[in-house]
């Protein structure tokens, strides 16, 4: 019943009910960001999955607010994480793709998040915060670009974009280093990586209870990103699913959900629940090469259709009574809105160069939708969403324009029907593309060609697989 309720509300376009209350508490607020990797939008109980039970994430939605129009800053891993941690759209600092392939004329340091950018931990340090990241980094692996050098006091994980979930004999190097490393412990061996990331997060919370300092914790799971690897006992729970890869994928999501349950339980047990913002989301849509499900949307990872950039997003913060537990909010929000919320909660001004707004004010707003403009740029493709209109540019075809508020499956292209509608968006996107730097590192021709083919194949919205 709960599953059906969340699915219906998420797409009915209802604003959440809100109550007027004071936002701040006496103590500085904590924040936990729990990030899934390549999670399909429809692969949660609260978003309609018929195959994967996710009681912990569903519980978080019941205790918090589900944002039905939530967006990441890029439909792929590295730029998406950069936008979240900087509060800025990644093309503003020349990032439009993952560091997929090395070119001879660029040093490896060029493939990281530019050092000109300031990250959430660096903003929070003057307020006495401890900041931790556990899991996947993917924002630079050379000297000067690692988590401890970007403001994080606690780091345990791997610097690349993917790795095995079980121990491996030899680790990968280059642009995708897979070795587990840490700046606070010598215990870098793994059992099953999803469980190990959860364990580090639980340990950090137990420490936070003792030292009483405010904290920002980034739980950066690599699940359910490729490779498809799961524990036998979890796989056995999905033996009714015939497709082997889908069976593994479901088991990986299930394991992550169990880990999230441990984190939520520890938060409550340690008495940190009331003053902690907990945010759950995915870094982008499910990947086409994985057996994920992005229903009810069109598109997937790497594409600017809703299936690539619109993600399940839940925020819980008991200290702010404007956020009504169990409600659904259709106000457009973005990952760039997290940093401004933390700054405002600490009484600091929000820098004008940030693209975000205070997410607590947005979600707690009861006066109507706040106009937003969001930009995406991947390789040679780009898009802008202004209000409820989205304009897409893919280089081998005509522009596309959709009113995503009521055509969230992007099936009614308005460009030829009403070209004038697209003119203001084309101007905004043109200005954005020409006033921001080109990509710091190019992608391969093969990758760019593959991307265009993916746009052609993603013609219809995805549907939920049966039980």
Task: Indicate which residue of 16, 46, 67, 77 is catalytic.
Answer: 77
Per residue in 145-158, is it b (16+ CB within 10 Å) or e — as a string? bbbeebbbbbbbbb
Record the tokens describing residue 63, joined without a space. Answer: 């205790």
391, 395, 404: which is closest to 297 by C-alpha?
404
d(CA 355, CA 335): 10
Task: Indicate which residue of 138, 154, 300, 304 is catalytic.
Answer: 138
Query: Is 24 labeled as catalytic in the residue annotation?
Result: no
Residues 173, 174, 179, CA angle at the centre, nearest 5°?
A: 30
Record the tokens describing residue 407, joined without a space. Answer: 């055509």
Query: Is 138 labeled as catalytic in the residue annotation?
Result: yes
Provide the annotated active-site residues.
77, 138
């Amino acid at each position: 019943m709960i599953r059906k309720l969340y699915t219906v509300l998420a797409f009915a376009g209802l604003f959440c009910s809100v109550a007027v209350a004071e936002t701040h508490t006496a103590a500085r607020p904590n924040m936990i960001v729990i990030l899934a990797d390549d999670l399909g939008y429809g692969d949660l109980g609260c978003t309609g999955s018929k195959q994967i039970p996710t009681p912990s994430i569903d519980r978080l939605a019941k205790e918090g607010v589900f944002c039905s129009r939530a967006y990441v800053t890029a439909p792929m891993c590295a730029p998406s994480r950069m936008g979240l941690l900087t509060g800025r759209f990644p093309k503003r600092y020349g990032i439009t793709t993952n560091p997929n392939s090395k070119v001879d004329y660029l040093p490896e340091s060029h493939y990281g998040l530019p050092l000109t950018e300031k990250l959430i931990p660096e903003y929070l340090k003057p307020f006495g915060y401890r900041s931790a990241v556990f899991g996947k980094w993917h924002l630079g692996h050379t000297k000067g670009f690692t988590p401890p050098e970007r403001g994080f006091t606690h780091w345990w994980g791997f610097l690349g974009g993917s790795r095995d979930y079980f121990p491996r004999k030899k680790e990968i190097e280059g642009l995708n280093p897979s070795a587990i490393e840490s700046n606070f412990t010598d215990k870098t061996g793994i059992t099953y990586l999803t469980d190990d990331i959860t364990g580090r997060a639980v340990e950090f919370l137990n420490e936070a209870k003792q030292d009483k300092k405010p904290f920002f914790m980034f739980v950066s799971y690599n699940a359910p990103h490729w490779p498809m690897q799961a524990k036998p006992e979890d796989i056995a729970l999905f033996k009714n699913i015939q497709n082997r890869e889908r069976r593994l994928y479901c088991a990986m999501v299930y394991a992550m959900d169990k880990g999230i349950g441990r984190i939520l339980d520890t938060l409550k047990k340690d008495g940190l629940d009331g003053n902690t913002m907990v945010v759950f989301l995915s870094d982008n849509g499910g990947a086409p090469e994985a057996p994920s499900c992005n229903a009810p949307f069109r598109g997937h990872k790497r594409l600017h259709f809703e299936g690539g950039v619109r993600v399940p997003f839940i925020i819980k913060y008991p200290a702010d009574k404007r956020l009504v537990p169990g409600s659904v909010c259709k106000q457009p929000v973005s990952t760039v809105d997290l940093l401004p919320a933390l700054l405002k909660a600490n009484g600091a001004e929000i820098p004008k160069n940030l693209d975000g707004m205070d997410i607590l004010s947005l979600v707690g707003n009861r006066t109507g939708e706040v106009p937003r403009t969001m930009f995406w740029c991947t390789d040679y493709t780009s898009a802008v969403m202004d209000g409820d209109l989205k304009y897409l540019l893919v280089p081998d075809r005509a522009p596309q324009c959709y009113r995503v508020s009521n055509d969230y499956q992007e099936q009614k292209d308005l460009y030829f029907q009403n070209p004038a509608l697209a003119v203001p968006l084309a101007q905004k996107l043109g200005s954005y593309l020409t006033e921001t730097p080109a990509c710091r590192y190019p992608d391969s021709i093969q990758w760019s060609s593959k991307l265009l083919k993916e746009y052609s194949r993603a013609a219809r919205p995805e549907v939920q697989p049966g039980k």
